[in-house]
């Protein structure tokens, strides 16, 4: 019998063992920190334990802007991760990164395990789909703006706490009564461009920009001088003058005015609910986004915020098989429902909403189904969202001009015209740099 050195025998055994249990590693860069990051780690760990072929390795890469920049830099250096989480305003940049991205529906179909886009909420799937209606990225954490109101202040003002305003006109009248009853502020909003321009356009079926709001091509251009935008901003500006609307500032600055009890009515992200539960010392309600009854009788869908998961190109077939399996896991009913209930993000698949509803969660937590109901509507070219290059910079321009309008430094017409002009200068730059 041939003698085999002990060290060599052990090495051979280890090699055989490692080969038997070898898995395909999938790198996943994300921007979820704190509790959300812990939930992402738990979710990926659960997926890894559910099978033996793939190991997803999540890594926090900073906030949304930092994470996207890190992913782009890594791709240019030939070291791109397999999966990158990108916020919704980065969608156009990713979509037009020709050769860098592997569209997820195409990927899943090629490896024989197709992802069905029809299982996702229409307002979400439509935003992350290409012009042929195929998913380019994986819907993951989605939010949408809703209407919050202070029930204690409503009761004090003699307003019906179970019948909040549905229109901007009704908000105006309610704000007058609230102010008369001692409320410091009637109505405010966070994320002004997202709520008052992007979502306003979608709700009222008004095209925000040409080329189907940017979905149809790079040569898209914005037009905020349309009558509907002018009419609603004139209404809001009149409310500023009479003290019923307060412009709180950019991003989520308006949140503090509501949670402190100073402002009775507020429009902002559905994802703000958890913070209000923690910080507000009053009972509040959640309702649908308001619409302008002088423009439309029945509003359409709202549009999303949050982020989706993108897959880089030039990965191995085995990697794509693993990513597809992971995406099927994330979009399974149980997993999507738990993510929705624990985080406050919208359930991205319809079955997760149904399961959550059947469990009694919405009855126990009134208003938490509103974001889903606002998004689960058939979209039009004007309502499915905005896909523009340089969208973060465009929002900054718009909110800067809003500040001039609401401080009475420029007229509504001049402010909207200036927004349109400056926005389109950015879009021209984006088009020229991506031809």
Residue 351: which H helix or E strand, with range?
helix 350-358
> pTM of whole model > 0.85?
no
Taking a C-beta distance cutoff of 8 angstroms, is the pair 77, 84 a contact? no
> pLDDT tens across 176-225, in order?
999 999 999 999 999 999 999 999 999 999 999 999 999 888 999 999 99
Q: Please state the φ and ψ torsions of residue 352, each to the nearest 5 degrees.
A: -70, -35
d(CA 416, CA 107): 42
* Cβ neighbourhood burial of 431 (10 Å; 0-12, 13-18, 19+): middle
> pLDDT tens across 108-146, in order?
999 999 999 999 988 788 889 887 889 999 999 999 999
Q: Which CATH superfamily is domain 145-302+389-434 in?
A: Periplasmic binding protein-like II (3.40.190.10)
- Output the pLDDT for position 220: 95
> pLDDT tens across 338-358, in order?
999 888 889 999 999 999 999
Question: Tell me, which fold does domain 13-143+304-364 have in CATH?
Answer: D-Maltodextrin-Binding Protein; domain 2 (3.40.190)
Taking a C-beta distance cutoff of 8 angstroms, is the pair 117, 134 a contact? yes
Higher local confidence (pLDDT), 123 or 385: 385
- The encoded tokens of residue 95 equal 């979509």
- In the chain, where the domains are located: 13-143+304-364, 145-302+389-434
d(CA 210, CA 266): 30
């Amino acid at each position: 019998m041939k003698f085999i050195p002990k060290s060599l025998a052990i090495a051979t055994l280890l090699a055989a063992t490692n080969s038997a249990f070898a898995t395909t590693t999938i790198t996943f860069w994300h921007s979820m920190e704190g509790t959300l990051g812990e939930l992402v780690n738990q979710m990926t760990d659960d997926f890894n334990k559910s099978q033996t072929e793939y190991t997803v390795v999540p890594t926090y890469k900073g906030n949304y802007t930092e994470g996207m920049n890190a992913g782009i830099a890594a791709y240019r250096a030939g070291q791109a991760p397999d999966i990158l989480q990108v916020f919704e305003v980065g969608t156009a940049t990713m979509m037009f990164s020709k050769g860098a991205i592997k569209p997820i529906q195409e990927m899943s179909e090629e490896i024989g395990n197709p992802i069905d886009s029809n299982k996702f909420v229409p307002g979400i799937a439509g935003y992350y789909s290409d012009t042929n209606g195929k998913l380019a990225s994986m819907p993951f954490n989605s939010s949408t703006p809703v209407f919050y109101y202070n029930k204690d202040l409503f009761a004090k003002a003699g307003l019906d706490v179970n019948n909040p305003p549905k229109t901007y006109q009704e908000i105006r009248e309610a704000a007058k009564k609230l102010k008369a009853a001692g409320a410091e502020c009637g109505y405010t909003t966070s994320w002004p461009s997202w709520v008052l321009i992007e979502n306003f356009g979608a709700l009222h079926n008004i095209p925000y920009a040409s080329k189907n709001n940017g979905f149809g091509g790079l040569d898209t251009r914005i037009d905020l001088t349309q009558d509907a935008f002018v009419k609603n901003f004139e209404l809001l500006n009149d409310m500023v003058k009479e003290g019923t609307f307060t412009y709180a500032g950019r991003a989520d600055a308006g949140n503090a005015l509501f949670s402190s009890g100073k402002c009775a009515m507020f429009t902002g992200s559905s994802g703000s609910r958890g913070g209000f539960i923690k910080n507000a010392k009053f009972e509040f309600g959640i309702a649908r986004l308001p619409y302008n009854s002088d423009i439309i009788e029945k509003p359409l869908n709202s549009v999303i915020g949050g982020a989706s998961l993108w897959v880089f190109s030039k990965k191995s077939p085995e990697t794509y098989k693993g990513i597809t399996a992971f995406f099927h896991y994330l979009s399974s009913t149980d997993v999507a429902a738990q993510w929705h209930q624990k985080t406050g993000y919208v359930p991205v698949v319809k079955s997760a909403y149904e399961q959550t509803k059947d469990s009694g969660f919405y009855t126990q937590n009134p208003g938490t189904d509103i974001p889903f109901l606002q998004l689960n509507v058939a979209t039009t070219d004007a309502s499915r969202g905005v896909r523009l290059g340089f969208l973060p910079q465009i929002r900054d321009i718009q909110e800067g001009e809003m500040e001039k309008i609401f401080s009475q430094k420029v007229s509504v017409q001049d402010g909207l015209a200036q927004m349109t002009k400056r926005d389109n200068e950015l879009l021209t730059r984006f088009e020229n740099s991506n031809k």
